[in-house]
Structure 1
Amino acid sequence: MDDRTYTAEAEPGETVTVAGWVHEIRDLGGIAFLILRDTTGKIQVKFEKDEMDDDLVDTGLGVHRESVVAVTGDVEEEPRAPTGVEITPDSLDVVAEADPELPLDPSGKVDADLSTRLDNRTLDLRKDEVQAIFAIRAEVLRSVREAFRNLDATEINTPKIVATGTEGGTELFPITYFGQEAFMNQSPQLFKQLMVGSGLERVFEIGPIFRAEEHNTPRHLNEATSIDFESAFYDHTEAMDACETIVKAAYEGVAENCQDELEALDLDEEFEAPAGDFPRLTYEEAIERINATGELDEQLVWGDDLPTEGEHALGQDVGEHYFITDWPSEIKPFYIKDHDDDEQLSTGFDMMHPTMELVSGGQREHRYDHLVEGFEQQGLDPEQFDYYTKMFKYGMPPHAGWGLGGERLVMTMLGLGNIREAVLFPRDRQRLSP
């Protein structure tokens, strides 16, 4: 519609055409109001029944909620209206009639459970607070892209259909690829490492990853968005510096550009970007602090992975974003480099929100012989990864990087109760549609 005016731009004294959804109809007897909603907000359309054409009144007041309509009329100042103005219509066209039986209430006056909301995501997204989540998610991605470019990183796109899994194991989704077995990629890890061996040196990617996890929890997905970074001539400490920069940039972008959305989520007064450096605890310090909380039935010992309840106890103790460094080599992937002075200690790190893990990273093993040995130690066949390992024969620089869960970042930033709230169309063990 070339002549369409957005509701937020309608000014008193103008004649405009606005188009959007019927949010609500209020019939007060001799006067009635239709509240029209578009992407910029809502506007009141006034029907004075005795002074208007009967057909216009009948059409305007007979249309079902959530129908799409176009209204042309004069804009007048009205302090009692929700936005301070209202439209007296000359015409109202029903562009698309909505079924009167809606599967959920987009006004939010009647709650719906998450499953119903996800089954009807298009309707669910008509609610201000749901739209706010995805506007904030978009700002997070914009901000981190800008921050990556400020780090002189080049954006790349790597394959999502692969011949071998990044980490092997049972978390692979197999597919048939022209008669061959292939898999949905678990991570861009191997490809981004190959890129730092090229002339690009420093790269990032924001894209989907796929994991056939059996978990069915509020924080796990089978298709997720990974925010990845890798840089040549970085060690693990420099990679952590970059990680901290990116996470802070995401928060700062939201704080600066999403005040209306934060207000819709009732977060405008409490939201703030992290200040100061993120604490860095060694793995040994982490298990000591978890044990000291007394929250676990059994004390953790060296080599244990951190259970969820242990992460929560440590997160409450630390109270802010933090890193866990110097993990045991045996519980980190084959491509993580060990410390030069202690082969039992890896350069791997995790970056944590007080409620959950957000990032896994480390310095990578860039020496061919050590890399192949790592494959064999973890029961993987190096020959299946020849496309990857052979490039380490041709001059692979030291490098480090990490992967950040995009949905987990948004979930923890906004305090969402379920990670599916941060995904338009989630994929988990039960959900393949819509």
Structure 2
Amino acid sequence: MSLADLRTHYTAAINPEEIGDEKVTIAGWVHEVRDLGGICFVVVRDRTGRGQVTLVKKKIDKELFDTARKLVRESVVSVTGTAKPEGKAPNGYEIIPDEIKLLNESQSPLPMDTTGKVEAELDTRLDSRFIDLRREQTTAVFNIRHEVLRAVRDFLTDSGFLETSSPKVVATATEGGTSLFPITYFDREAFLNQSPQLFKQILMSGGLDRVFEIGPIFRAEEHDTRRHLNEATSIDIEASFCDHFDVMVILEDMVAYVYEQVIENASASLEALGVELQVPKTPFMRLTYDDAIEVVNSKGGDMLAWGDDLGTAAEHTIGEHVFKETGESHYFIIDWPTEIKPFYAMPYEDNPLLSKGFDMMHRTMELSSGAQRIHIPELLVSRIESQGLDPEGFEFYLKAFRYGMPPHAGWGIGCERLVMTMLGVDNIRDVVLFPRDRRRLSP
């Protein structure tokens, strides 16, 4: 049995006026069967949409008609026939079948409804993700996620970046702290990597100049919120002979390009979700940390002191302030206190209390964090020690700084949060195929 025997066209690719009397074969899942006695409609669903198969009892073989009306929803079929224009049918055509092949019959009842007529809780959907993915809205999310990652790769490649991959099993914490998943690596302790940061910087010493990576990161944080995951997909860049302002421009231009490409290439998926996108205007607003603290404190409520990190409530307050000022949802917070940024963030030479670090924000949450990095080995060792870490544990990393490390800067942005905020999704687990959080390890 060849592919041509099972499918010649996706459902969305059939145009009866172009095909004429040529036979077509579609393959997919039985989305719906409507048996009206003298006429039977079978709606077949594939990745691109739906195709209607129409059988009139008086005009078709009795055995074929009986086969169609007995089909069980979500069974897998291949249908061969002639496509005819039909304005009321999905995609504007119907197929008059010559043959219906039942390739795999589904059990009944289904774990959940796939038609959208009965809503299911998110946990129910995730428990049966294979069924949930057959829903139009779920498929739409992952079509859009694909377009997001494709646009990221195209933009960064066209901007002179090389795609790289870093290890996910490491001997040392990337940023210190305890939010790590320990594993046994033969006879040694190791960790799942929480960031490609140190390896990106080593590549700058190697002269690769501009690199990016799209890959998993792991954080053993005990968050149980709608915007946190323990395994996420991070988009990271590092660029030599750049400062933090240079890479901020790359980041905002990339985000705007991603929106443009999703609007252009995923219009059907956006329509299925009822989402209308607008491309963010660049440059994004730059708000200093000091100004951000002032905005929060001016609104009353819990007051923040200089040096405090920004919690969820503060981020929302600042986001709403920026939206009212600019009408835009994306902005930067710059000039963070050095002590609350990672050890590799470069302090300002004329004011070491402030770092050349930044966060790119959506008005609902943080999307990205970045900085110009310390490239001077003595200063880097000092910063590692100031955060209570042992430089000896970072020897593999520090070695790269002793033999000619250029000035460099970079950032990381969470793919899931980017998609989540783009689509206005309420729970981050909705934009991950098989999410990993505190409670979910299967499927």
Structure 2 unaligned residues grouped into runs of 5+: 324-328
- Corresponding residue of 2:58: 50
Q: Show the 5 A alignment for 1:33-432.
A: 33-267=41-275, 270-294=276-300, 296=301, 298-319=302-323, 320-432=329-441
Matched-pair contact (CA < 8 Å) for 2:333–2:360: yes
- Corresponding residue of 2:326: none
Separation of aligned partners in 1, 2:380 and 2:162: 25
Structure 1 unaligned residues grouped into runs of 5+: none
Matched-pair contact (CA < 8 Å) for 2:76–2:106: yes
1:196-249, Cα deviation, whole Å (9 max, x unpaired): 111211111110000001001000000000100111111111121111111111
Give the drift of 1:68. Answer: 0.4
1:5 correspondence with 2:8: yes
1:276-315, Cα deviation, whole Å (9 max, x unpaired): 3101111000000111122x3x211101111110100110
Separation of aligned partners in 2, 1:80 and 1:215: 48
Separation of aligned partners in 2, 1:83 and 1:300: 56
Separation of aligned partners in 1, 2:382 and 2:427: 40
Separation of aligned partners in 2, 1:276 and 1:79: 42
TM-score (norm 2): 0.95
The sequence identity of aligned pairs, in percent, is: 58
- Give the CA RMSD over aligned residues: 1.2
**Alignment partner of 1:2: what SS?**
helix
Higher deviation after alignment, 316-325 or 85-94: 85-94
Letter in 1 for 2:130: T
**Alignment partner of 2:90: what SS?**
coil
**Alignment partner of 2:4: what SS?**
coil
**Alignment partner of 2:96: what SS?**
strand
Matched-pair contact (CA < 8 Å) for 2:68–2:100: yes
Give the drift of 1:91. Answer: 1.6
**Alignment partner of 1:362: what SS?**
strand
Matched-pair contact (CA < 8 Å) for 2:256–2:282: no
Give the drift of 1:52. Answer: 2.9
Separation of aligned partners in 1, 2:12 and 2:260: 26
Separation of aligned partners in 2, 1:64 and 1:362: 56
